[in-house]
Structure 1
Amino acid sequence: MSRRGLFLFILVGFLWGIPYLFIKVAVDPENGFSPATVVFLRTAIGAAILIPIAIKQRQLFAAVRGWRYVGAYALLEMIGPWILIGTAEQKISSGLAGLLVASVPIWATIFASMRGDKTVWQRKRLFGIVVGFIGLIAVVGIESITGSADPLSIAMVLVASIGYSYAVMMVQSALPHVSGIAINAVAMAMTAIFYLPWSIAQWPTHEISQGAIRAIIGLGVLSTGAAFAAFFTLANIIGVARGSLVTYLNTAFAVVLGVVILNEPLTTGIILGLPLVLIGSYFASRKPADA
């Protein structure tokens, strides 16, 4: 990997590791925004950043023409997952949310198998699925039994992860020659329009903290607009498959930032489950060299 590729890899890992911290601050019930308002604001900002790039690439109208697939992608990647994660983070730590999202490669591998990818049954990938699920069971079980986290909130993040895992596979298959930046630009615009009525209806009547406002700006500019632009630039250098390995770096950043900045507890469930989920996701997402 070139120096530029390595820089972008680390940058994307940070930009997609920090949103869980931003979301945690932004959805604070006492001085923040509602989860729906957070989704609206982050996607409106993200769309404003990505649409000009998509226009410059001359790919925006290609994404608009595929609106049916982009709409389905938006539903599974943003409209559903981002409201679920935002709602869940009102009751669980940002680090735990990031850890649960690290299960995406495991679910993606299972979906690939259902779509006819026989390499899923290769031993290393099966090993990854099994180890990853053991890690998830450890996290969910320990966090729930000890009362460290709300089981329903954990379930919300897992459902969001399942949506993530299928969304990318679906849209890449349906629109293989359309820029990822253009697809996400249109998907963000769709998501912002979808959540606009809820955002207006749920606009806070209490005083909004400066921290929540800064979190929204960071979430929209850094973790939504800039992160997607950086990821697809990285993908052009090292490919989407290798680029997706940034998931493991995201998770490490999410857990560390939650502990260091928000003083979140490093629970037994996270300590035991984190390495298992990361190892499992790594092996589950690996394909044989001759595949």
Structure 2
Amino acid sequence: MSRKALFLFLVVGVAWGMPYLFIRVAVEDFSTWTIVFSRVVVGALVLIPIAIHRKTLLPALRAWPWVLAYAALEMIGPWFLITESERVINSGLAGLLVATVPFFGLIIGYFYLGDKSLAHRNTLAGLVIGFTGVLLLVGIDAFNGSISLPHVGMVILAAIGYSVAPVIARIKMPDVSGVAINGLAMVMVAIVYAIPALGSLPKELAANPPVEAWGSLLGLGIFCTSLAFVAFFRLLNEIDVARASLVTYMNMAVAVFLGIVLLGEPITTGILIGMPLVVVGSVLATRKHSYK
């Protein structure tokens, strides 16, 4: 990676490693509808003005059917699934499970984008090792009765959506600004979530949520949504979609670290065995290889 790409990679890695912490805190006081709605409203308030200033919003509006498809796979479905799952599973585990995104991303890249990275034995080995780590994590902790398999499945389904959405943006809207795409997508998500969110908000406000809960909503909107998406689409200009999706490995490390340090989440046997394999797999899969 270039220095610019590495910097953007680190920014996205941290920004997208934080939402699992914020969500875990917010679900104690707010409904999933409210959490996702507030997240996209804050994000849209930041991104739409930028898109208007750059005069990039009109092309996104013209491509609205593809923006809607992107929104469904990147936000409407995944953010509901992940938020609901974190009412049951730990934030660190959610972050670890989303690390399956590169596995799906490289398969999609190989068959639909002509990316030959998957064909190299080291890249393939890295993905197999990393995904094996995730399987061991889930299998060991499920055997111990410490996780809920249905909620694990919800997060993995969200990861599949995460892997497909950037491909739609790149193939169907290659000349449309990522900021405009995400800003408009967030407006669409806000419309979908508005009625149930506004219906549950009065009761939630009456319960007087603590400062931490409000701070989590703002953090989700500003850092994990606005900043992260701007940085991610700039990253896509530097490296390919499949390799950019490998940022989820860093997200995972940040999510696990924050969950343990700030929320006191346990270091399970599954994490101790599975996480090192995920890290090793990440190193192998992200390296550039010669195809001579």
TM-score, normalising length from structure 1? 0.90
Structure 2 gap ranges (5+): none
1:82 to 1:220, Cα distance in 2 relative to 1, 3 A:
same
Distance 1:222 1:174 in 2: 27
Q: Deviations over 1:179-222 (max 9, x none)?
A: 11111111111111110011022222533222111100111111
Distance 1:155 1:282 in 2: 26
Give the drift of 1:265: 0.7
* 1:24 partnered with 2:24: yes
Tell me the secondary structure at the aligned position of residue 208 of structure 2.
coil
Distance 1:235 1:170 in 2: 13
Identity within the alignment, %: 48
Name 1:104's counterpart in structure 2. Answer: 101
Distance 1:179 1:248 in 2: 26
Number of residue pairs the alignment of both structures matches: 287
Give the drift of 1:250: 1.8
* 1:58 partnered with 2:64: no
Name 2:280's counterpart in structure 1. Answer: 279
Q: Which of 152, 156, 159 lines up with 2:157 in the alignment?
A: 159
Counterpart residue identity of residue 14, structure 1 = V
Name 1:79's counterpart in structure 2. Answer: 76
Distance 2:12 2:68 in 1: 25
Tell me the secondary structure at the aligned position of residue 208 of structure 1.
coil
Give the drift of 1:142: 1.2
Counterpart residue identity of residue 166, structure 2 = V
Tell me the secondary structure at the aligned position of residue 103 of structure 1.
helix
Superposed CA RMSD: 2.2
Give the drift of 1:14: 1.6
Give the drift of 1:109: 1.3
**Maintained 8 Å contact 1:129/1:281:** yes
* 1:171 partnered with 2:169: yes
Distance 1:289 1:189 in 2: 43
**Maintained 8 Å contact 2:104/2:160:** yes
Distance 1:133 1:243 in 2: 17
Distance 1:193 1:201 in 2: 13
Give the drift of 1:290: 5.3
Q: Which of 34, 37, 40 lines up with 1:37 in the alignment?
A: 34
Distance 1:146 1:42 in 2: 34
Distance 2:163 2:3 in 1: 29
Structure 1 gap ranges (5+): none
Distance 2:150 2:281 in 1: 24
1:45 to 1:10, Cα distance in 2 relative to 1, 3 A:
same
* 1:145 partnered with 2:143: yes
Give the drift of 1:116: 6.4
**Maintained 8 Å contact 2:86/2:94:** yes
Give the drift of 1:288: 4.2
